[in-house]
Chain A
Amino acid sequence: MNGAQDLGGEMGFGPVAPEKDEPLFHAEWEKRALGLTLAAGAMGHWNIDESRHARESLHPGDYYASSYYEIWIKALEILLKRHGFVSDEELRSGRALSAGAQAKSKLLAENVPAALARGGPCDRPVDGQPRFKPGDRVRTINFNPPTHTRLPRYASGREGVIESVHAGYVYPDSNAHGHGENPQFVYTVAFAGSELWGRSADASSVVSIDAWESYLEPA
């Protein structure tokens, strides 16, 4: 979706301003926000693609005015409501008022190290052969779905070169919406800066994205 999250090439946000000796967390609540987000995800009712879509679906004004952990918490509330775990009334009162949905699983403290060390691999077997090979010239499709996608606008409808062919991966455009994993091959596609940014480009810069096969057509 053409949401606030799709930031590549946008302007007006000012300098990067890295913070010297930045602490890992800037407030105690950020620690709880991190842990809550991961622990709630471990209940097993949504996947990372649905999570990302919930975050990018925030109103752009809200998205840009929020710190990243604020974005996480706002999206987590949306996911918990969508899946029947909490109600608006509960969020208002700050306490449980009804049983709500039952979780498929619960992450216990003793299982945290193993769960984090395992992660959530999302490579999957794909039938057939990759459509493209390294060196092939391709053009990304030009589309503007109102739903989740991982093809950024700045690299949409642009010509580039297949640099490498990766495994099959869960297709986020369908997985975010409960339409299945539908794995596809993923490719690293390199674009000349001038193809993306025209005369404004750093002459020698090259930008790559990792693109699912259905984002690509032969050039």
Chain B
Amino acid sequence: MAHHHDHDHDNELDPMTARVRALETILTEKGLVDPAAIDAIVDTYEHKVGPRNGARVVARAWSDRQYADWLKQDATAAIASLGFTGRQGEHMQAVFNTPETHNLVVCTLCSCYPWSVLGLPPVWYKSPPYRSRAVIDPRGVLAEFNVVLPQSTRIRVWDSTAELRYLVIPMRPANTEGLSEEALADLVTRDSMIGAGLALAPGAA
């Protein structure tokens, strides 16, 4: 930042640290924001809301056909029944991978992402390379995640242009009969719920 700060401590700070600290200081001095609320927001996404939520949804869908049907019909309610609601998950849709169709989620216009089940998006999801290419070259993008699908598998890209948020339900890996939901959830990676990965094989988790 090109600004010249008139207080000493900023000289030691990188530009964005100084800029954000200045903003927080001003808003706090004016009584507009509560720094403890900022702490609580950060704590929520560091410790409470993240991709383990989505993994539990997927594991339940793999284990319980009725739940999977509910998830197809009304993902918002089915996901809320496991306790996952709220910001950037208000209107959910679950899309199911099959041998015929692989789903991939993107937001070309900004960074829309299902926070309530996946937490905060990774940098790549918000960055121009992914946002530009997922829609025009999805197979090439998947190859960069080491996901190579048969040519016979159709790729379906969901561009999150409105307020619906998409959760990909990856295919259940082979040789997982009899695994508990907890063990199944360990096979479900964040990327597999975006469509940029596959669920792990047992033993690989």
* Contact of A208 with B158 at beta-carbon distance under 8 Å, contacts A24-B120, A121-B90 already known: yes
A188 to B41, CA, bound (A): 32
A contact residues around B119 at 8 Å (CB):
24
Residue B46 at the chain A interface, CB threshold 8 Å? yes
Interface size on A, residues (CB 8 A): 95
Which residues 191-219 in A have Cβ within 8 Å of B in the complex? Answer: 196-197, 200-202, 204-212
Interfacial chain B residues near A134, Cβ < 8 Å? none
Residues of A within 8 A of B18 (CB): 94
Of B20-28, B55-63, B173-181, the segment with at least 4 beta carbons within 8 Å of chain A is B20-28
Interface residues on B, range: 35 or more
**What separation, in Å, do the CA atoms of A197 and B135 have in the docked complex?**
9
Give, as a whole number of angstroms, the nearest-CB distance from B53 to chain A.
12
Shortest Cβ distance from B116 into A: residue: A119
A-B contact pairs, 26 of them (CB 8 A): A15-B129, A17-B144, A19-B122, A22-B124, A29-B20, A32-B24, A32-B42, A39-B33, A39-B37, A52-B110, A56-B109, A68-B127, A69-B16, A70-B16, A80-B27, A94-B7, A94-B10, A106-B33, A106-B34, A107-B33, A107-B34, A113-B44, A119-B116, A186-B162, A209-B159, A210-B161
Instruction: Point out residues on B near A: beta carbons under 8 Å.
Output: 3-7, 10, 14, 16-27, 29-34, 36-42, 44-46, 49-50, 85-91, 108-111, 116, 119-120, 122-124, 126-133, 135-139, 141, 144-145, 151, 153-164, 191, 196
